[in-house]
Amino acid sequence: MDHFWENEYIVTAGYYSVSILCIVVFLAVFELVTKYRNWEEIKKGNISVAMATGGKIFGVANIFRYSINQHDSLLTMISWGVLGFVLLLIGYFIFEFLTPKFNIDKEIENDNRAVGLISMVISIGLSYIIGAGI
């Protein structure tokens, strides 16, 4: 049975499956902390929400990329990926805190593309910083 778990195809499928599951769970968490409904707004054509959500997806996926590269067990990879996600989530709250003149969620919900773009870039940029630390 040990050969089964050491097969590169099985390991890759395992990392892939767990990463996809984690991305789905983390998107659900982001859905809970934002004041708008991501998928409803995207369905309506809200480009700002699409950019912000795309940045979050890329950010989480990038964190897991680093986690997979640096750790040799599935459990360790998940642990570091979860830590990376928590740090990305904290970054989201810091972004909201550092912009007291307007509400990030409200601006994104109102399709302010400048805010959607900067939100996307912050998620992507932070994912590289977090990944480097993993």
More confident residue, 96 or 43: 43
Q: What is the largest CA-CA distance in the chain?
A: 59
Confidence of residue 73 (pLDDT cuts 50, 70, 90): confident
| Whole-angstrom distance, CA of residue 44 vs CA of residue 52 | 15
Query: Which whole number is the average pLDDT over 69-77?
Result: 86
pLDDT at 84: 95
Asked if residues 88 and 123 have their Cβ atoms less than 8 Å apart, the reply is yes
The answer on pLDDT for 2 being more than 70 is no
Average pLDDT over residues 8-32: 92
93 Cα distance to chain centroid: 14
Of the candidates 12, 10, 18, the residue with the CA atom closest to the CA atom of residue 81:
18
Residue 91 has pLDDT above 80, yes or no: yes
Mean pLDDT throughout 82-93? 94
- Predicted structure pTM score: 0.88
Q: What is the pLDDT of residue 11?
A: 84
pLDDT for the residue numbered 67: 94
Q: Where are the domains of the chain?
A: 2-133
pLDDT at 7: 82
pLDDT at 1 (0 to 100): 60
